[in-house]
Amino acid sequence: MLTPISLLWLPAFVATLFVFLGGFVVNMLLPHHRSDWSKLSDEDDLREAIRSQDLERGQYTFPHAASTAEAQTEAHQKRVDEGPNGFLIIGPNEVGPSVRQLVLHYVHVAFISIFVAYVCSAAIPVGADYLKVFQVAGTAALLAYAGSVFALSIWYHFAWAYTWRRAADGLFYALLTAGAFGWLWPMVG
């Protein structure tokens, strides 16, 4: 008999808690992400130039083409060839993670844990051994936490080293999730 998802609220909750706390350790205490972002040589001039644009919070590309037709024009191609080309993200004026960001991150992790519970409930019977639960839960969690980070380098030109470090973080979160589900998997009887 497959496991009803209603029996998996505890492993999902504990996995969420483990990953949320693990994320704190990874991002605040360990040194491997300290070199993810570089300082500009003349940050103040660039900030002033951006400030003068009066940009709203959002994502911007440069040079920007509003359509495929515009992207194929000689003028746009000239701007691309001259460079620089890039992406600009404008966020709110705040330092460090806000309470809102932490709450949204917790909800995101809970969402993943619930879907891992769903996959496990559809694939694993009550009373399954730890390693089987670990395998299925870990695979589902790895796809969620690390599967999409490669798009950052493929499409947005993030450094591959950054992407591989984020993928390693995803593996760590998947192992935490798998361990929680394996540990708390419902037994027969």
pLDDT, one tens digit per residue, over 68-104 is 999 999 999 999 999 999 999 998 888 878 889 999 9
Contacts of 49 (CB under 8 A, 6+ apart): none
Residue 4 has pLDDT above 90, yes or no: yes
**Per the structure, how many domains does the chain have?**
1
Tell me, yes or no, if the pTM score tops 0.85: yes
Residue 158 lies in a domain: yes
- 121 located within any domain: yes
Which of residues 98 and 168 earns the better pLDDT score?
Answer: 168
- The pLDDT of 22-32, averaged and rounded, is 90
Residue 77, in any domain of the structure? no
Is residue 76, in this structure, part of any structural domain at all?
no
Q: Tell whether 92 is covered by a domain.
A: no
Q: How far apart are the first and last CA of the chain?
A: 13
Q: What is the pLDDT of residue 34?
A: 87
Q: Is residue 159 included in any domain, yes or no?
A: yes
Residue 162: domain span: 5-33+97-184
pLDDT in tens, 124-163: 999 999 999 999 999 999 999 999 999 999 999 999 999 9
pLDDT mean over 64-70 = 95
Residue carrying structure tokens 């496990």: 120
* Helix axes of 160-184 and 130-146: crossing angle, nearest 10 degrees: 150
Residue 111 lies in a domain: yes
Residue 109 contacts by C-beta under 8 Å, 6 or more apart in sequence? 16, 19, 20, 23, 173
DSSP string, 69-91: HHHTSHHHHHHHHH---EEEEE-
**Per-residue pLDDT at 189:** 67
Query: Percentage of the chain with pLDDT > 70?
Result: 99
Is residue 151 assigned to a domain?
Answer: yes
| Contact yes or no for 140/120 (Cβ under 8 A) | yes
Band (pLDDT 50/70/90 cuts) for residue 113 is very high
Minimal CA–CA distance to 171: which of 32, 8, 3? Answer: 32
Of 18-32, 86-100, 111-125, 159-173, the one with minimum mean pLDDT is 86-100
